[in-house]
Structure 1
Amino acid sequence: MMTRAQSDDDQSAASALGLSDDVKLLAPRDPSVRKATAIINGAIITDTDVDQRLALVLASSNGKIPDDERERLRAQVLSNLIDETLEIQEAAANKITIEKSEVAASYARAANQFKKTPAEFSAMIKGMGSSDVSLKRQIEGEMAWRRLLGREVEPFVSVSDEEVNQVIKRMQADKGAPEYHVSEIYLSATPANEQQVAANAQRILEQIRQGASFPAYARQYSEASTAPVGGDLGWVRAERLPDQLANAVKDMTPGQVGGPIPVGGGFSIIALVDKRQVLTTDPRDALVTLKQITISFPANVDKATAQPKVTAFTEDLKTLKGCGNVADFAKKWNAEIVDSDQIKIRDLPPQLQPILIDLRVGEATPPFGGSEGGVHSLVVCGRDDPIDKTVPSFDEVSTQMSDERVNMRARRYLRDIRRDAVIEYR
């Protein structure tokens, strides 16, 4: 529902542009006609550029995107490539260049995250229908933009000592209050395209609920300053969110996605990553050392046939006396053992977290199944409980506040660059 304030804003915008209420289109717009390429201040984006970047997005969503959504996503990829080009051009205009060696080093780090060499990583990307050139250009754009902001924006952002002290004082007063780790996809809308944007937001939400990557969609669709980091807003109090989002997150459970939620000037899709209490120790932050014991069954075995072995395995686990006996226990059951060191309990499946919180060193979880097949049990071999939380330091709070203000100015900066750019679609 549109509020009175929103209605007045819309009327003011129409008046400022000299628009009447009875606008009549003199020629229809064909939504099936999409411009595939663009020239941005002389720099060309080709069909191939769009296809290769789109392939990266599709890969992150396991290709679970219908054809009509793919076309919309293609248009968004083109828009993002235009912004990326503008960012690189603006950096160059300010005598900022990114050396190839810097891009190569960042590319190698990305490859290492997949446990691959740069050459193997390039082959993997090529197999997705993309290329290392496309990903390296994205890396170059992100590095150039960050460096530009560091020179042209960050030095002019200030946070006073009084402001920081007020935040610290508020945090101390809020100890024990709920705090939420939220991610957001924001789509701007006007009265003219509100229904279209809402429908598009609903399609995005459905794709995410079917398994598409929220961070990938945030990077490609979101118009918020958090888009480069997958829409991650970090940990926030509900009171710091718009009322519509605050009311939504309070009723959500970790891992849930909600929306589209009407907010000022558009719609938001939000994901509740986690929740906690301010400055309160969370037992899920304990670090545990685990041994996973797995017994296997023949392919396509039915539950009735497997149940006697599972029951016997369950009873035998109760006799396990610490991690020192795991090897003998596994040998008896012809089981596999996997060691995991320093795992945070909150990073494990939600069903196992409350069990592991209550287990002592040397105890095992009840057997459980998973998508990988077989029956498993986790034995706790070590535990480092979290230390009591304290109020963040003055410098930490100051840095967070500064980052938020830089992100806001960065969004305005890019908006101004777009406004002054010469963009020709082909």
Structure 2
Amino acid sequence: MFAMAGMASTAVAQTVPEQDIGAIAASLDLPANLTIFGKADPAVRKATAVVNDWVITGTDVEQRVNQIIGLNKLNLKPAERDELRVTVLRQLIDETLQIQEAKANDITVDKKEIDQTYARVAKNFAKDPDQFRVWLRQVGSSERSLRRQIEGELAWGRLLRRRIDINISDAEIKEIIRNLEASKGTEEYHVFEIYQSATPDRALEVATGMQRMIAQMREGTPFDYLARTYSESSTKSQGGDLGWVRPAMLPDELAEVVKTMEPGQVAGPIELPTGFSMIYLAEERKVLMPDPKDAKVSLRQLSIRFPKGTSEEQATALATEFAKQTSTIHGCGDVPKIAASLNAEIADRDNLAIRDMPPAIQNMLLPLQVGQVTRPFGAIEESVSVLVLCGRDEPASANLPSPDQIRNQLEDVRTNVRAQRMLRDLRRDALVEYR
């Protein structure tokens, strides 16, 4: 949760089919006419717990909730805050189990390491450690809460490195490189994922929770905030970023969905053997082919600014005439003449990467040939502009990933699977008392 970045997305929801729910019921040996015996225990969702004799207080939960809200600049509804509170309690239980298991294996994180990480987190938010300490108190959190989180992440990472030995042979890497070369020109995708494990008795609960996340995204909640807060994958600290992947690198269930998506879409919940995933498709490109978004362009921007007090009707009329005149441009040499007739401003923009521009501008520039002009864009209350493409330097061909890059990606994927199994076993063996 230490490096937040916003991400707009369009939600494409998928529900859990009724036949899947029936299969879940069958796996639990549930009767057709279900009767619940006894009364519901209202304490099971309270925000306090004892985990193998370690006490998690209501204050611990509230401080972590406030930290998440503050770092992400969120404005949550009461129901969303309640849901986050329950999720945070589960995370604190897992965090406690991870720290306890690390200590049982003689792994401790010394104060100096925590200090260094705390200082880096503060720097990410343009604060020194003392300023960050004050800010945490102002948002209702504390330095102690963040330090506990840092300790948990460092201790668990160290335990994983000791326990998990992933052996990836040179022959396996060479085979992947051969497959990449054979796949040249096929599609690959930049994918982000939120993964949550689910035993059969929790499948419906987890799937429903993911549908609520999609509803939150429709209201503007960033995907990476949800990934950092709710995902159980090792990629949660990167906002769920899986990097560039080909369908063959994904589980079959995810690969089939990704191939049907458009950039900017979200899909889920997608049922997997061990839980559910929700995926966001950021970009797509062709394997080992140059990415058009990496092209460098030279542009001339032609703009007219609306006088203060211009009405919407007047601005629309001016923009319409501007669009008519600029549509006659047949190259950058035409720009001064058109600018003079419109009393417009000219600005030259050189050596710009298309991918560094806003998505709407990227989409207009990508199909243009040199000398062509974009459609007008701007704001009714300010100005209207067009861009004329004066030059374009195409990107170089993409290179194969290095053997080390392939090895690291495979290690991450396989370590994540083993880590999920380890945490599942810790949960099963834990003594957790809710208060």
Who is 1:163 aligned against?
A: 172
Q: Hey, what's the Cα distance between the residues in 1 that align with 2:42 and 2:309?
A: 49
Equivalent in 159, 165, 173 of residue 182 of structure 2: 173
Q: Which residue of 2 aligns with 1:139?
A: 150
Matched residue type, 1:168: I
> 1:390 aligns to what?
399
1:65·1:207 contact (CA, 8 Å) conserved in 2? no
Contact 1:209 1:257 in 2 (8 A): no
1:410 to 401, 409, 419: 419
Which is worse superposed, 143-152 or 74-83?
143-152
Does the Cα contact within 8 Å between 1:198 and 1:260 map onto a contact in 2?
Answer: yes
Q: Aligned pair in 2 of structure 1 residues 146, 189: CA closer, same or farther (>3 Å)?
A: closer
Residue equivalent to 2:283: 274
The answer to whether the aligner puts 1:205 opposite 2:214 as a matched pair is: yes
The residue aligned with 1:113 is 124
Query: C-alpha displacement at 1:282, in angstroms?
Result: 0.6
Q: Which residue is 1:74 aligned to?
A: 85
Verify: 1:36 aligned to 2:47, yes or no.
yes
Task: Please give the secondary structure, in 1, of the residue aligned with 2:140.
Answer: coil
Distance 1:98 1:410, change over 3 A: same
In 1, the alpha carbon distance for the partners of 2:291 and 2:126 equals 32
Asked if 1:93 corresponds to 2:104, the answer is yes
**Distance (whole Å) between structure 2 residues aligned to residue 395 and residue 344 of structure 1:** 28
Structure ranking higher on relative contact order (CA contacts 8 Å, 6+ apart): 2
Contact 1:14 1:20 in 2 (8 A): no
Matched, 1:226 2:235: yes
- SS of the aligned residue for 1:226 comes to helix
Q: SS where residue 180 of structure 1 aligns?
A: strand
Distance in 1, Cα, partners of 2:299 & 2:213: 38
CA distance in 2, matches of 1:212, 1:319: 43
Instruction: Give the partner amino acid of 1:411.
Output: Q
Greater displacement, 109-118 / 77-86: 109-118
Q: Deviation per CA, 1:325-346, whole angstroms, max 9, x where unpaired?
A: 9xxx9xx9799x999x986422
Task: Confirm whether residue 102 of structure 1 aligns to residue 113 of structure 2.
Answer: yes
Deviation string for 1:191-213 (max 9, x for gaps)? 54444333322111100121112
Deviation at 1:275, TM superposition (A): 1.1
Describe the shift of the 1:371–1:48 C-alpha distance in structure 2 as closer, same or farther (beyond 3 A). Answer: farther
Is 1:61–1:211's contact at 8 Å kept on the other side of the alignment? no
- RMSD value over aligned CA atoms? 4.0
**Structure 2 counterparts to residues 3-82 of structure 1, below 5 A:** 7=23, 14=28, 24-30=35-41, 34-59=45-70, 62-82=73-93
Gaps of 5+ in 2: 1-16
Shift of residue 75 of structure 1? 0.6
Mapped contact 1:61–1:213 kept (Cα < 8 A)? no
Letter of the 1:247 partner, please give it.
E
Deviation at 1:263, TM superposition (A): 3.4
User: Does residue 1:305 correspond to 2:348, yes or no?
Assistant: no
Q: How many residues align?
A: 410
CA contact (8 A) 1:91 1:145 kept: yes
Alignment counterpart, residue 269 of structure 2, candidates 260, 269, 287: 260
The Cα shift of 1:284 comes to 0.5
Deviations 1:373-407 (Å, cap 9, x if unpaired)?
Answer: 65566788997643211322223222221221111
Change (3 A) 1:143 1:364: farther
Provide closer, same or farther for how the CA distance between residues 422 and 242 of structure 1 changes in structure 2, counting only shifts above 3 A. same
CA gap 1:312/1:113 in 2 versus in 1, 3 angstroms = farther
| Same amino acid, percent of matched pairs | 45
Relative distance call for 1:138 and 1:417 in structure 2 (3 A) is: same
Deviation of the 1:48 alpha carbon: 1.8
Q: Which residue in the other structure is 1:420 paired with?
A: 429
- Aligned partner letter, 1:157: I
1:182-201 map, 5 Å: 182-201=191-210
Answer yes or no: is the 8 Å Cα contact 2:303–2:384 preserved in 1: yes
Q: Distance in 2 between matches of 1:97 and 1:371?
A: 59
Q: State TM-score, norm by structure 2.
A: 0.77
Q: Match for residue 4 of structure 2?
A: none
Taking structure 1 as the reference length, the TM-score comes to 0.79
The answer to whether the 8 Å contact 2:50/2:434 transfers is yes
What secondary structure, in the 3-state scheme, does the structure 2 residue paired with 1:352 have? helix
1-structure distance, mates of 2:171, 2:116: 41
Work out the CA distance in 1 between the residues paired with 2:257 and 2:424.
29
Paired with 2:193 and 2:213, the residues of 1 have a C-alpha distance of 12
| SS at structure 1 position matched to 2:89 | helix
The structure-2 alpha-carbon separation of the partners of 1:29 and 1:313, relative to structure 1 and needing over 3 Å to count, comes to: same
What code does the residue aligned with 1:397 have? I
Alpha-carbon separation, structure 2, partners of 1:206 and 1:301: 38
Q: Render the CA deviation track for 1:221-246: whole Å, top value 9, x for unaligned.
A: 22334333322222222233344433
Q: Distance in 2 between matches of 1:38 and 1:250?
A: 43
Cα gap change, 1:373 to 1:143, in 2 (>3 Å): farther
Deviates more, 1:128-137 or 1:198-207: 128-137
Distance 1:48 1:266 in 2: 30
Change (3 A) 1:181 1:42: same
